[in-house]
């Protein structure tokens, strides 16, 4: 199992803030909107350098999505930011009609996603957002794994013409993706080539998957670890090739099992290449208050849980 | 313009009759205002249609269900062939039941139909015009029942806060919605004071009276640039132009049958602009 050096501990939302600032420097059509959470989304650098391109939307998310669609009609590239819960479930119909169905070049930037938001509890810990967004025709859905990847993804979606959902989080998390690695929308990232089982992971769970790879290596299991940062469009070829090679699959995500990455991969494999599969995800439950680590432990989103799932998957191989 | 308005009313009736569905009531009430905007007040260009609307006035219909009047007005002002009105609501049409961009119908810039969203989108484009120093106007029509949607008031706040004084919003004040009168369903009162309290300029208009349209709309335009968005409370009669469709909410979302169509068209003789 390949070892990755931890380059630092940083929150992915700061990667978003840095990427937005850089995208704003590169393209004067980039504008940013926020619903009263500018500091939480680390949008201050953009706001301070480009005050005329920063739009405070107030606690009125539905209007923020509509205004973003209007700005996009006029040729702007709006990045609309708030917490993931308020960026999706609260404004689903606005995104559906004004952005997705109307194919507007709006970037929905969702922070504090998943359990790792922590102490604020389940009202704010959305675990359904990937599902909500991936169901919308034409919506690109991205959940990067660390600071550097989030920064690169933010800059990449600025150059892509169409609606995008970018999901990131609150806690400090290991940084291991090289700073200069370009982000390719829809392209799976191979982190470790292996032959016994494939772990497909997204978001914060990618680091947990790498840790799981080391646990498995100690047991003599050679795990392939693949970072699926883009849940839609899914990298079909990479997933099918890896599943064919290893013969069994584990998915890992900080999201409901229903509607998440695992669900997308299961759909692909069941049609093209039926493969034994295990899921590491939240199983039909809301979250609760606690520290991120406590919550990940309680809801089974740990490296040990991924390793155990891999052993189960291997046992199911014909 | 009066003959064009009559022709558009004929289009509306024939379109909804052909597919036994659609929303003739509110469409007929708004024909005069749509006609006045598209054939007189708006500085817009139908050909070639440009999505971004830069360098021209832009119109948004927030209450997308009155698509028949919108489509007929767009076709008759040159955005697409008038003959295409015959495809309204039929399979593979660009003229979807509610306006959409998905099929690339020229003139439509965003989908509307789920109520309350168009005003926010219009505010976004008005803001873009401000940022890019484009001096043109964003025109919007909303329904009065639509003002029951909370998002409308988010947009009303936003437009005032951002001083979007390049927007003229007409509220189609026909006081009717699907389930009955707006007063019975969810009574909103003190319209003028509500908008004034939100920091808008407010005018009132008899929307089925040409003289009033020709005097009030220029007054609204005169208020542009004054630091406040402008709203026109536009009193209209649902079903205007067809006697048995007026004075009731029954024709909000119901199409006439063959006999009713014949009776209605008899009150609106074909004009020099000709039926599609």
Q: Please say whether the beta carbons of A69 and A99 come within 8 A.
A: yes
**pLDDT tens digits for B35-48?**
999 999 999 999 99
Over residues B27-39, mean pLDDT: 98
Q: Model pTM greater than 0.95?
A: yes
Chain A segment 20-79 residues within 8 A of B by beta carbon are 31, 52-53, 55, 57-58, 60, 62-63, 65-76, 78
SS3 A9: strand
Q: What tokens appear for A246 in the block?
A: 């290893």
Q: What backbone torsions phi and psi does residue B267 show, to the nearest 5 degrees?
A: -85, -10
Under the banding of pLDDT at 50, 70 and 90, the label for residue B233 is very high
Q: Which of A33, A60, A67, A90 to mutate to test the interface with B (most CBs of B within 10 A)?
A: A67
What is the model's pLDDT at position B195?
98
Q: State yes or no: pLDDT of B188 exceeds 90.
A: no
At B157 the pLDDT is 98
Q: What pLDDT is stored for residue B270 in this prediction?
A: 96
CB-CB contact of A115 with A292 (8 Å): yes
Label residue A318 by pLDDT band (50, 70, 90).
confident
Interatomic CA distance for residues B112 and A101, integer angstroms: 10
Whether the Cβ atoms of residue A142 and residue A6 lie closer than 8 Å to each other:
no
Per-residue pLDDT at B187: 85
Give the model's confidence band at B228: pLDDT under 50 very low, under 70 low, under 90 confident, else very high. very high
Q: Write the pLDDT tens digit of every residue in A230-285.
A: 999 999 999 999 999 999 999 999 999 999 999 999 999 999 999 999 999 999 99
pLDDT band at A185; cut points 50, 70, 90: very high
State whether residue A103 sits within 8 Å of chain B by CB: yes
Instruction: Answer for the pair A186, A233: CB distance below 8 angstroms, yes or no.
Output: yes
Determine the Cα angle at B83 with ends B5 and B39, to 5°: 30
**Cα–Cα distances in Å, from B58 out to A66, A206, B35, B155, B169?**
16, 46, 15, 17, 12
pLDDT digits (tens, 9 = 90+) for A212-239: 999 999 999 999 999 999 999 999 999 9
Q: Do residues A224 and A198 make contact, with C-beta atoms less than 8 angstroms apart? A: yes
DSSP 8-state code for residue B39: I
Please say if A193 is a catalytic residue: no
Give chain B positions within 8 Å (CB) of A62.
Answer: 116-117, 120, 150-151, 154
In the DSSP assignment, the letter for residue A128 is S
Catalytic annotation, pick one of A22, A61, A128, A308: A61
Tokens representing residue B49 in the block = 């249609």
Q: Which of A31, A58, A66 sits opposite B120 (nearest CB)?
A: A66
- Strand ranges, E, within A155-314: 164-167, 172-175, 189-192, 197-201, 223-227, 230-232, 249-256, 277-282
pLDDT mean across residues, chain B: 97
Buried-state track B90-129, b at ≥16 Cβ within 10 A, e below 16: eeebbbbbbbbbeeebbbbbbbbbbbbbbbbbbbbbbbbb
Choose the closest CB to A57 out of B122, B131, B158: B158
The structure tokens listed for A32 are 């940013």
Whether A309 and A300 have beta carbons less than 8 Å apart is answered as no
Show residues of chain A in contact with B100, CB under 8 Å. Answer: 101-102
The pLDDT of residue A36 is 97
Predicted local confidence at residue B9, as pLDDT: 98
- Per-residue model confidence as pLDDT tens digits over A104-163: 999 999 999 999 999 999 999 999 999 999 999 999 999 999 999 999 999 999 999 999
- Structure tokens belonging to residue B171: 């509220």
Angle (CA) A67-A131-A287 rounded to 5° is 100
Disruptive mutation site among B64, B100, B120, B150 for chain A (greatest number of A CBs within 10 Å): B120
Tell me the C-alpha distance between A286 and A165, whole Å. 22
Tell me the mean pLDDT in the region A80-109: 98
Outline where DSSP puts E strands in B132-207: 138-143, 167-173, 176-177, 180-181, 201-206
Longest dimension (CA), chain B: 53
ipTM: 0.97
pLDDT at B189 over 90: no
What's the confidence (pLDDT) of residue B89? 98
Is the minimum CB–CB distance between B160 and chain A shorter than 8 Å?
no
- Residues contacting B128, CB < 8 A, separation 6+: A70, A71, A73, A74, A75, A76, B134
For residue B150, the chain A residues in CB contact (below 8 A) are 62
**With 0-12 CB in 10 A as exposed, 13-18 as middle and 19+ as buried, what is B210?**
middle
User: In Å, how far is A62's CA from the nearest CA of chain B?
Assistant: 6
Phi, psi of B143 (to 5 degrees): -85, 165
Contacts of residue A83, defined as CB under 8 A and 6 or more positions apart, other chains included, come to A37, A40, A110, A111, A112, A117, A124, A126
DSSP string, B208-259: T-HHHHHHHHHHHHHTTTSSS-EEEEEE--TTTT-GGGTT-STTSS----HH
């Amino acid at each position: 199992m390949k070892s990755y050096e931890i380059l630092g501990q940083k929150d992915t939302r700061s990667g978003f803030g840095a990427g937005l600032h850089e995208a704003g420097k590169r393209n004067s059509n980039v504008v940013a909107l926020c619903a009263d959470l500018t500091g939480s989304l680390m949008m201050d650098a953009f706001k301070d350098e480009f005050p005329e391109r920063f739009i405070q939307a107030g606690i009125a998310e539905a209007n923020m999505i509509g205004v973003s669609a209007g700005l996009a009609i006029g040729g702007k590239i709006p990045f609309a930011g708030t917490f993931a819960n308020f960026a999706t479930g609260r404004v689903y119909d606005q995104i559906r009609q004004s952005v997705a169905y109307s194919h507007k070049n709006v970037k929905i930037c969702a922070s504090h996603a998943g359990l790792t938001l922590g102490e604020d509890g389940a009202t704010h810990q959305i675990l359904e957002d990937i599902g909500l967004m991936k169901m919308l025709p034409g919506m690109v859905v991205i959940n990067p794994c660390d600071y550097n990847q989030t920064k690169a993804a933010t800059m990449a979606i600025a150059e892509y013409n169409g609606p995008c959902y970018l999901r990131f989080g609150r806690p400090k998390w290991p940084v291991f993706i090289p700073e200069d690695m370009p982000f390719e929308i829809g392209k799976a990232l191979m982190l470790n080539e292996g032959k016994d089982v494939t772990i497909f992971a997204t978001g914060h769970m990618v680091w947990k998957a790498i840790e799981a790879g080391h646990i498995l290596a100690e047991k003599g299991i050679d795990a392939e670890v693949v970072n699926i940062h883009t849940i839609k469009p899914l990298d079909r070829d990479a997933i099918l090739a890896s599943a064919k090679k290893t013969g069994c699959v584990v998915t890992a995500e900080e999201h409901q099992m229903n509607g998440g990455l695992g669900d997308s991969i299961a759909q692909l494999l069941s049609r093209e290449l039926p493969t034994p599969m295990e899921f590491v995800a939240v199983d039909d439950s809301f979250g609760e208050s606690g520290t991120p680590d406590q919550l990940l432990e309680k809801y089974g989103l740990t490296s040990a849980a991924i390793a155990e799932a891999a052993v189960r998957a291997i046992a199911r191989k014909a | 313009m009066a003959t064009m308005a009559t022709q558009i009313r004929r289009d509306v009736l024939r379109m909804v009759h052909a597919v036994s569905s659609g929303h003739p009531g509110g469409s007929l009430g708004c024909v005069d205002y749509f006609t006045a905007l598209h054939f007189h007040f708006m500085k817009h260009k139908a050909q070639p249609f440009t999505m971004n609307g830069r360098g021209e006035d832009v119109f948004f219909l927030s209450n997308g269900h009155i698509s028949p009047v919108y489509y007929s007005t767009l076709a008759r002002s040159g955005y697409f062939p008038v003959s295409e009105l015959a495809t309204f609501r039929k399979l593979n049409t660009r003229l979807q039941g509610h306006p959409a961009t998905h099929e690339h119908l020229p003139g439509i810039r965003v989908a509307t139909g789920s109520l309350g969203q168009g005003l926010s989108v219009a505010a976004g484009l008005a803001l873009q015009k401000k940022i890019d120093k484009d001096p043109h106007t964003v025109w919007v029509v909303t329904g009065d029942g639509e003002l029951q949607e909370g998002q409308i008031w988010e947009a009303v706040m936003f437009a005032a806060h951002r001083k979007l004084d390049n927007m003229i919003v007409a509220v189609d004040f026909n006081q009717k919605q699907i389930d009955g009168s707006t007063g019975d369903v969810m009574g909103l009162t003190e319209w003028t004071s509500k908008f004034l309290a939100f920091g808008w300029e407010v005018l009132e208009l008899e929307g089925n009276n040409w003289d009033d349209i020709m005097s009030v709309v220029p007054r609204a335009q005169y208020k542009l640039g004054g630091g406040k968005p402008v709203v026109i409370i536009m009193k209209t009669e649902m079903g205007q132009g067809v006697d048995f469709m007026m004075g009731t909410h029954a024709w909000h979302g119901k199409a006439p049958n063959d006999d009713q169509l014949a009776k209605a068209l008899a009150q609106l003789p074909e004009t020099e602009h000709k039926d599609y």
